[in-house]
Amino acid sequence: MTVSDEMRYRIERDSMGEMQVPADALYGASTARAVENFPISGLRFPRAFIRALGLIKLAAARTNAELGLLSEEKARLIAEAAQEVADGRWDGEFPLDIFQTGSGTSTNMNANEVIATRAAQIAGGGRPVHPNDDVNMGQSSNDVIPSAIHVSAYLEIAEQLLPAMAHLQEMLERRAAETDDVVKMGRTHLMDAMPVRLGQEIGGWAAQVRLARERIEATLPRLAQLALGGTAVGTGINAHPEFGSRVAAVLAELTGLPFREADNHFAAQATQNTATEVSGQLKTYAVALMKIANDLRWMNSGPQGGLAEIALPALQPGSSIMPGKVNPVIPEAVMMVCAQVIGNDVTITVSDQAGNFELNVMLPVIAYNLLQSIQILASASRVLADRAVAGFTVNREAIDDVVEKNPILVTALNPIIGYDRAAQIAKRAYAENRRIKDVAAEMTDLSPEEIDRLLDPAELTRGGIKGGGSAG
């Protein structure tokens, strides 16, 4: 090692021997080995996951001190350093690629080393805390990383996703109420159908969001179960029998969320079924958002050659060559988010299958994809609510014109004149580009008053069979 190298690196030792580590790094030899071994993607664990690791290490230190296994001074040093990790002060000290050892051992050791080094700095020097013996006391990567997945996902869902979904639902409900007097063309198979109120259509979107939120909330009791206490294979070797329940209780106190020890440690470590369940519900929400975004794009299409039922807010120029063109950029961005989440679900599903005997070995990629899905769905929900739903305007004139000429309105006459006669009226009205009411007046014995009552578009959106009159 040259003099220059000595200034830039220090020598650290682990069970495999010596390793050069950047001189100012808080991490040690195990992390440096993993940096060297996995130069694969440049993708890093997100902030939410590092936060969860810090909270777990803090809770573990407090628990081990309460159990009389760790000195109060060591616990204090670990807890202070771990809190800094949880708070995001040392995110730059977590350089590892998510494509690494499938248990996430490298990242668990990364946390142990950073906390131990930082504890030494807080103590004023020396090595008062050992990364394995003290920071990792009562733990294994095999129960820490699955627990960090659950803790980080629960926190992100509770703090980010569910509030964003509630915001979108409320915005949709508000716009549904504001537009409930607008009667528009219903469409099935992208073809003209019976009329609906715009408020009913938007209310359907709001219900999709509400149901998706309820589905996600239904997974939380299982996400609250933590693998901590199972250590290497689920038996709890080297951990106090009360460690799992106590550390979960401390995490519950720290976060205000109902974390508890897993009902079965072997299932908690060998599988990621709960992550797959949560991802499946995130995918379901993505499918709902995709439908809403697509409907908004269709309704906004035009302004001359499309439906032109609404006008989304004009946010930016839509073309580098066509002046004046404005595109539905927010729904398009949301749809890309949805596609990503659906793809993430496939990755998580395939990864969950990679549990052999006592351990799943694709934990880092599950963590990354699950947390990304939560984060981008939360952001997309707020953007869709605030930059598309809140500000669209309704083109009432265009909507009214289409509804008046809709030949499918004749469906309301089926109980009175029969399907076949109604079909004849519809075909003639379409062929002659005339209002269905005018053609019905010529082809039936119904009075103009009866036709107006029976074919009132607004009344037709309220359901029920309209009777009266006789077939002509």
Catalytic: 189?
yes
Sequential pLDDT tens for the chain (472 residues): 554 566 799 999 888 899 999 999 999 999 999 999 999 999 999 999 999 999 999 999 999 999 999 999 999 999 999 999 999 999 999 999 999 999 999 999 999 999 999 999 999 999 999 999 999 999 999 999 999 999 999 999 999 999 999 999 999 999 999 999 999 999 999 999 999 999 999 999 999 999 999 999 999 999 999 999 999 999 999 999 999 999 999 999 999 999 999 999 999 999 999 999 999 999 999 999 999 999 999 999 999 999 999 999 999 888 888 888 889 999 999 999 999 999 999 999 999 998 899 999 999 999 999 999 999 999 999 999 999 999 999 999 999 989 988 888 999 999 999 999 999 999 999 899 888 899 999 999 999 999 999 999 999 999 644 443 333 3
User: Is 311 exposed, middle or buried (CB count within 10 Å of its CB: 0-12, 13-18, 19+)?
Assistant: middle
Amino acid 248 reads: A
Tell me which of 319, 320, 351, 373 is the catalytic residue. 319
Determine the Cα–Cα distance for residues 55 and 82; give it in Å rounded to an integer: 7
| pLDDT value of residue 470 | 34
Determine the Cα–Cα distance for residues 453 and 435; give it in Å rounded to an integer: 15
H or E stretch covering 367: helix 363-384
Amino acid 381 reads: S
Buried b (16+ CB within 10 A) or exposed e, 403-416: bebbbbbbbbbeeb
| pLDDT value of residue 404 | 83
Tell me which of 4, 15, 189, 320 is the catalytic residue. 189
Q: Is residue 300 a contact partner of residue 392, using CB atoms and an 8 Å limit?
A: yes
Catalytic: 319?
yes
Q: Is residue 216 a contact partner of residue 157, using CB atoms and an 8 Å limit?
A: yes
Buried b (16+ CB within 10 A) or exposed e, 113-138: bbbbbbbbeebeeeebbebeebbbbb
In angstroms, how far is the first alpha carbon of the chain from the final one?
A: 103
| pLDDT value of residue 264 | 98
